Amino acid sequence: MLKKTSDALRRADYALAGAFLLMLATAGAAMAFNPHTDQTPKLRSSIMQVADIAPTMPVAAPVAPLPVLVNAPSPRELALAKVLNEQNCLAEAMYYEARGEGVEGEQAIAEVIFNRMHAPGYPRSICNVVYEGSELAHGCQFSFTCDGELDRPKSFGPWLRARVLAARILAGYVQLGNTTGGATSFHASEVEPDWADQMDRTVQIGNHLFYRPLGRTQAS
């Protein structure tokens, strides 16, 4: 059983990696175009004039090349590692905040994260949104990042589901909608945080209530 679930996790990571590498290959082909190689005759003439006077100009001492790190990761490997790290952060948020709410509840948490990424005043990456304030005693935005829950063992089945769902979201196989009504905040239904009165409640999904910032007229 463990082997099957481990294989499923590996396939999810490979699917995400494959989609990302395809994206990198496309972007690399676009960046390979160098407009400076398509010079006009006038520009070539100017370059030749500079070349004619170059011998009279002082020559700087040669600079020793930087050492090449044989085992240094390539730009693609670094970019892929970043995406896989983002996948893990997204999976953690969905798992710890909504593992008992099913796929709909987990996708709602993902919506909040992406809504924050596009809202003023929030970080622009998944991990930075999820772990914002986690270094502070009472400033964490997602409670699991600072209440010790990360140190507890995960339930393998729900964790597998969250990781696969995160991979499918980032690879584009699952498209997030707007089931939360543009929410940037949420809380469990059994608590009443002070900030809830200062926001516009949008919807309840499972055990969570979702909120978005008040409009300008409402805020005033």
- The predicted-structure confidence for 39-87, as pLDDT tens digits, reads as follows 333 333 433 343 343 444 444 556 666 666 668 888 999 999 999 999 9
Q: Which two tokens stand for residue 1?
A: 């059983």
What whole-number distance in Å separates Cα of residue 194 and Cα of residue 116? 20
Domain ranges, ordered by start, for the chain = 2-19+82-176
Contact between 9 and 163 under an 8 Å Cβ cutoff? The reply is yes
- Of the candidates 89, 106, 94, the one whose C-alpha atom is nearest the C-alpha of residue 179 is 106
State residue 185's pLDDT score.
98
- Of the candidates 147, 166, 11, 148, the one whose C-alpha atom is nearest the C-alpha of residue 92 is 166
What whole-number distance in Å separates Cα of residue 64 and Cα of residue 62? 6
State residue 169's pLDDT score.
97
| Of 171 and 57, the one with more pLDDT | 171
Contact between 112 and 185 under an 8 Å Cβ cutoff? The reply is yes
Residue 190 has pLDDT above 50, yes or no: yes
State residue 19's pLDDT score.
52
Q: What residue spans of 32-155 are helical by DSSP H? A: 41-53, 75-98, 102-117, 126-130
Contact between 210 and 97 under an 8 Å Cβ cutoff? The reply is no
What whole-number distance in Å separates Cα of residue 150 and Cα of residue 210? 24
12: pLDDT confidence band, cut at 50, 70 and 90? Answer: low
